[in-house]
Amino acid sequence: MSLTRKKKEKVNEVPTKITWKEIKRQKVLLFWSFLIVVYGVVFYYLPLAGWVMAFQNYKPKDGIFHSEFIGLAKFEQLFHDATFLRVIRNTLAMGVINLVVCFVTAITFAILLNELQNNNRKKVVQTISYLPHFLSWIIVTGILHGALSGSGIINELLVAFHIIDSPINFFAHPKFFWPIVAFANIWKETGWNAIIYLAAITAIDPCLYEAASIDGAGRWERIKYVTLPGIKPTIIILLLMNVGNVLNAGFEIQYLLGNGLVKSVSETIDIYVLKWGISQGDYAIGTAAGIFKSLVSIILIVVANQIAKHNGEERLF
């Protein structure tokens, strides 16, 4: 389908012949795009050469060129390691949970905000809600640690309202960990993520709302039949991009909030890489885990894109 589309475009366009004259005419453009290409090659593609480490018994002393080549042994070791399988599960679980809840809350929040009639209040709410985005995770986890500790505000409130008898130590129970991470993500990112949806909503032609009202659509109907379809392309594109990010379920938050008791659910692939790759000096296994993560991400994004394409929706490529 994309092929036919490209062909169509080609027919419509008058193909530019590349001549010296043409190049001269576009020299400024070429120069700048050249810089971008250099940037991309240097910072995105050259470092990939380091992937070769995953197939070596890499020793920093010997470097990439003199380390012993061991083929796929490190990958085999990875997939025989129960810990690694567990971190994949954790990463996927937290990634999906985060994706879903952040997505839903951001869209809901944007729509609600849009429905606010008073412009000043709207601005105040919007500003306050996206400010947490600028806090670093270390601060957010510090606040969480304080708020959820045995003598923290959450426990005090729960006890005061007689919901529980004695304080719960939230960080000591594995079952609370994923919800806490999801909650932290919502708290920190909802306001920020809503901005792009708000922008998309603003771009919807006000005539459509007017027309809908005249046809007897209430608020709920206007949201359902005008707003949501209006921001659908934005939603799909962002969803696609986020699917590729599922395995980036986070590092700081799990690293900072985790402890021995919840380790079985808190460790993500990134923490695994840090622990076994950097800390233990086994850079090969760290790289192998990193490659695995990248490959899965690429597969996810391609599959999601194909599905979108199949359904005739917007897509990335």
Partner 1 sequence: MKQKKIISLLLAATLSFTLLAGCGSKTDEAATDTSTDAAATTTEATEGAGEVREFTAFFAVAGTEINDDNEIQSILAEKTGVKVKETWLTGQTDKEAIGTFIAGGEYPDFIEGGSGTPQLIDAGALVALDDYIAKYPNIKALFSEEDWDKLRQADGHIYFIPQFGTVKNEEKVCTHNDEAFWIQTRVLKWAGYPEVKTMDQYFELIESYQAANPSMEDGTENIPYTILCEDWRYFCLENAPQFLDGYPNDGSVIVDPKTLKIIDYNTTPTAKRYFQKLNEEYKKGIVDPESFTQTYDEYIAKLSTGRVLGMIDQWWNFAFNVNDALKQQGLDAQGCNYVPLPITIEEGINNQWHNSGAVLNVSSGLAVTTSCEDVDAAMKFVNDILAQDLHDLRFWGTEDVDYGVSETGEFFRTEEQRMNASDTAYKASHLCTYSYFPQYTGTSDDGINANRPDGQASEFYDGLHPELQECFAAYDAKTYVDMLGTNEKPGPWYPMWSFSNSLNTTTPGGTSWVKIAEVKHEWLPKIVMAEDYEGAWTDYMEVYEGTEPQAFLGEMQTELDRRMEEAAKYN
Binding flag, residue 172, partner 1 (CB under 8 A): yes
- E strand spans, 126-279: none
Between 7 and 310, whose beta carbon lies closer to partner 1?
7
Cα separation, 96 vs 83, in Å, equals: 20
Other beta carbons within 10 Å of 167 = 16
State in angstroms the smallest separation of the CB of 260 from partner 1: 4
DSSP states of 28-58: HHHHHHHHHHHHHIIIIIGGGGGGGGGGEE-
Minimal distance, residue 247 CB to partner 1, in Å = 21
Residue that has been written with the tokens 């670093």 in this structure? 136
* Residues in CB range of 3: below 8 A, 6 or more apart: none
Looking at the Cβ atoms of 59 and 121, the one nearer to partner 1 is 59
Site string (278-297) toward partner 1, x via CB under 8 A: xxxxxx--------------
Shortest CB 140 distance to partner 1, Å: 14
Least spacing, CB of residue 316 vs partner 1, in Å: 24
State whether residue 26 is helix, strand or coil.
coil
Q: Which stretch binds partner 1 (CB under 8 A): 142-150, 178-186, 212-220, 308-316?
A: 142-150
Per-residue contact string for residues 29-68; x = within reach of partner 1 by CB under 8 A: -----x--xx--xx---x------------xxx-------
312-to-1, 144, 217, 305 alpha-carbon distances in Å: 10, 43, 28, 10
* Interface positions, 67-96, toward partner 1 (CB under 8 A): 83
Of 197 and 272, which CB lies nearer to partner 1 in the complex structure? Answer: 272
Which of 20, 69 has the CB closer to partner 1? Answer: 20
Tokens of 275: 């622990």
